[in-house]
Structure formats: structure tokens, C-alpha cells
Amino acid sequence: MESSANIRKLAVFLDRDGTINEDPGYLYKPDELVMIGGAAKAIKELNAASIKVIIVSNQSGVGRGYFTDADVEAVNEKLMRLLAVEGASIDAIYYCNHHPDTACQCRKPNTGMMEQASLEHGIDITRSYVVGDKGSDVELAKQAGAKSVLVLTGKGGSELKTLKRPADCVAKDLSEAVAWILKDLKAGR
Ligand SMILES: [Mg+2]
Ligand SMILES: [Zn+2]
């Protein structure tokens, strides 16, 4: 009989701003949401491979008083709609709305959002991947024991130069990141 640990699924944890959509800085207006080319198609490929896709996003603009949770949710809903048009879907969205000065456990690179997702969706974090455009995304993966992909969209180009620890993969964009993940899984590493 299989132990429950064996049936826990892996997931691809995706950063939102700068990874799936352009990052203009503190995005909160749905009308200003611009998808990064190929991102929807890449997510659709993960869907087709039955890999859970979970967004983990730092939204400190709420804690800073720049916008509200309702604004974050409106942008997320618009994102879901744009993805759906292209046949792609997200399994869950987690975001940290705290100010960076708050000692919360959810702001990336802290692992709180991944741990919550693991509990709520039966995810095996150590077999999972994190894709993002910042050093905090790479560090999140390192701290959680997942594999990391830094994308060069968003802030990725400048973040690459200041990484504390190297990413497992540096990819041009989400399309290239997903191609690497699917190859890595096939290789069974
Ligand atoms: Mg980002
Ligand atoms: Zn937080």
C-alpha cells in the first residue's frame, strides 16, 4: 500500500508580477494588467501535464497602504480571465499583504505560503519548483527545499547579478522555464 507521502503531488509555484504579467511596480488596476508573451501557453502546458500551478505573490502595497486586498483580488481575477481565454488555469493563489517590516512568515523568501499550499493541496514541496524574477523567489525555493528557476522577464536581469545563491535554472521567460521543468521531470532528477 502506498503511504500518503507518496501520493503527495508536486507543484510549480509561480511568482505573479514580472513572471506571468509585466511588473510596472505596485500593480493594482486590472486594466493595467499586461500578460508576458507565452506565459499563458506555458501554464497551459503545466495544466496538460497534470502539474498543479500555484501563484505565490508578495503584495506589500496593501501593508504600505497603497491599495487594498480587493484591488489585489481584482487583478488576480482579471489574470484568471485572461488565462482562461487561452485555455490555461491556476489551481490556487496565495499572496502576502504585509508590510516588509512585519515579521510575517508569508512574505517571500519566507516559506509560509508554500507550507499553507502544501497542507491545503497535498503538495510535496521537495519535489516542487519555484519560478520567479527575483532573488526572493530563488531564496524561497532554497529555504523550502524546492528547485528554483529565475526568469529574466520583469526584474530578472538585474536580480541575476545580486543572487545570494545561484538558481537551478536561469530562463529567458516562463515558456523557457516550463520547458526546463518538464525536461527536468522527465530526467527524473
Ligand atoms: Mg516578481
Ligand atoms: Zn506576510
pLDDT of residue 175: 98
Distance of CA 137 from the midpoint of ligand 1 (Å) = 8
Distance of CA 1 from the midpoint of ligand 2 (Å) = 39
Q: Which residues of the chain have pLDDT under 50?
A: 1-5
Please tell me the number of the ligand nearest to residue 155's CA: 1
pLDDT of residue 63: 98
Note the pTM of the prediction, 2 decimals: 0.95
Question: Do the beta carbons of residue 13 and residue 146 sit within 8 Å?
Answer: yes
Query: Which residue has 532528477 as its cell numbers?
Result: 189
Give the CA angle between residues 72, 156, 104 to the nearest 5°: 45
pLDDT of residue 3: 47
Distance of CA 114 from the midpoint of ligand 2 (Å) = 12
| 3 state SS of 104 | coil
Distance of CA 44 from the midpoint of ligand 1 (Å) = 20
Number of domains in the chain: 1
Mark the residues whose beta carbon lies below 5 A from ion ligand 1: 15, 17-18, 133
Where residue 69 falls (left for φ over 0; alpha for ψ -120 to 50; beta otherwise) is: alpha
Q: What CATH number is given to the structural domain containing 11?
A: 3.40.50.1000
Known catalytic residues are: 15, 17
Q: Which domain holds residue 17?
A: 4-187
pLDDT of residue 189: 58
Report the candidate in 169, 161, 160, 176 with the shortest Cα–Cα distance to residue 141: 169
pLDDT of residue 85: 97
- List of residues 6+ apart from 19 with CB closer than 8 A: 36, 39, 131, 132, 133, 137, 151, 153, 154, 174
pLDDT of residue 98: 98
